C-alpha cells in the first residue's frame, strides 16, 4: 500500500504564495505540494489594518507575532460576534459552520501559522518544544489504532519555528525509515499510517520550537482532547 504520493517536506521558498488586499498566505502543505486535497497549512500575514472574512470552514491558528482580533459569529451570539484578542502565542480553533473574521489591529504585521481543513472534520494548531536530546518515539496514526468510540486517525502537519529540528519518516511503502534535518520556516507532512517522529539531536544547547497541527480524518470520537472542542476555542501558549 502506498501511503502518500506528494512531498512530505516543503521548504519555505517552495510554498505557494497568495497575495490579497489584507496580506498574504504562503501555502506550504496543500494539494499542490502534498497531493492531499483535504487541508492547507502555511504562514499567514495580515497587513496593519488588514481584515480577512467573514469566512467559513474549520480553521486553527497560532500567532507568532503581532496583534489583532478574531471575531466569530456563533449561533447564540445575538448578532454580536465572540471577540478574541490575538497576540504572540494565541491559538484558536473555529468550527467549520461558524463564520469568522480576523483583523490586524496593530501597527505591524500580524503573522501566524494557519491550518484550514477542507472536509468537515475538526483540526488544531499548537506549539511544542524539544530540549536538546529530546524527541518522541517512532509511531503512526491509522484506522487500526482505535478502540470504539476512541480513534487515532490523525493527519499531521509540522512547522519548525526555530532551533535544530529533525524528523524520521518512512518511505511511501512504510518499509524504510530516513532521517531529515528541517530548515526553519519549513513544513512537514505526516500522512495516515506513515511511521514518523520529531526530535532534537542535541548537537547544540538550543531547544527547538514547532507548530504541531492536523485534522482528525476518521469517524467516531477522537482520542485527543484537542479535537473535542466547541464552536470556538482559544488559549495561549508562551515560550
* pLDDT over threshold 60, residue 226: no
**Cα 153 to Cα 151: distance, rounded to the nearest angstrom:** 6
* Residues 44 and 30: beta-carbon distance below 8 Å: no
Give the pLDDT confidence of 21-47 residue by residue, as tens digits. 999 999 999 999 999 999 999 999 999
Task: Grade residue 147 by pLDDT with cuts at 50, 70 and 90.
Answer: low
pLDDT > 90? residue 141:
no
Q: What's the pLDDT score for residue 37?
A: 95
C-alpha grid cell, residue 21: 488586499
Tell me, what's the pLDDT at 118? Answer: 95
Instruction: Specify whether the CB–CB gap between 150 and 223 falls below 8 A.
Output: yes
Task: Look at phi and psi of residue 8 and say left if phi exceeds 0, alpha if psi is from -120 to 50, else beta.
Answer: alpha
Q: Enter the pTM of the model.
A: 0.92
Q: Domains, the chain, ranges and CATH?
A: 9-117 (2.60.120.10), 127-224 (2.60.120.10)
What phi and psi, each to the nearest 5 degrees, are found at residue 19? -100, 135
Query: Average pLDDT in the 126-141 region?
Result: 94
Question: Are the CB atoms for 27 and 18 separated by under 8 Å?
Answer: yes
Amino acid at each position: 500500500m502506498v501511503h502518500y504520493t506528494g512531498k512530505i517536506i516543503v521548504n519555505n521558498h517552495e510554498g505557494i504564495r497568495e497575495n490579497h488586499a489584507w496580506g498574504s498566505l504562503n501555502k506550504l502543505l496543500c494539494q499542490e505540494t502534498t497531493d492531499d486535497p483535504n487541508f492547507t497549512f502555511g504562514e499567514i500575514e495580515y497587513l496593519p489594518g488588514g481584515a480577512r472574512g467573514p469566512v467559513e470552514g474549520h480553521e486553527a491558528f497560532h500567532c507568532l507575532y503581532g496583534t489583532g482580533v478574531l471575531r466569530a459569529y456563533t449561533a447564540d451570539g445575538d448578532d454580536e460576534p465572540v471577540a478574541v484578542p490575538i497576540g504572540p502565542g494565541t491559538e484558536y480553533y473555529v468550527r467549520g459552520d461558524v463564520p469568522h473574521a480576523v483583523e490586524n489591529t496593530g501597527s505591524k504585521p500580524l503573522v501566524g501559522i494557519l491550518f484550514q481543513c477542507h472536509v468537515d472534520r475538526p483540526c488544531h494548531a499548537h506549539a511544542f518544544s524539544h530540549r536538546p536530546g529530546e524527541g518522541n518515539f517512532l509511531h503512526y496514526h491509522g484506522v487500526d489504532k482505535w478502540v470504539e468510540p476512541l480513534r487515532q486517525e490523525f493527519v499531521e502537519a509540522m512547522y519548525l519555528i526555530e532551533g535544530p529540528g529533525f524528523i524520521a519518516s518512512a518511505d511511501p511503502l512504510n518499509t524504510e525509515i530516513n532521517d531529515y534535518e528541517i530548515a526553519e520556516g519549513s513544513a512537514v507532512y505526516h500522512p495516515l499510517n506513515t511511521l514518523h517522529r520529531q526530535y532534537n539531536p542535541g548537537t547544540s544547547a538550543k531547544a527547538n520550537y514547532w507548530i504541531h497541527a492536523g485534522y482528525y480524518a476518521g469517524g467516531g470520537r477522537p482520542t485527543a482532547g484537542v479535537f473535542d472542542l466547541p464552536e470556538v476555542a482559544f488559549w495561549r501558549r508562551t515560550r
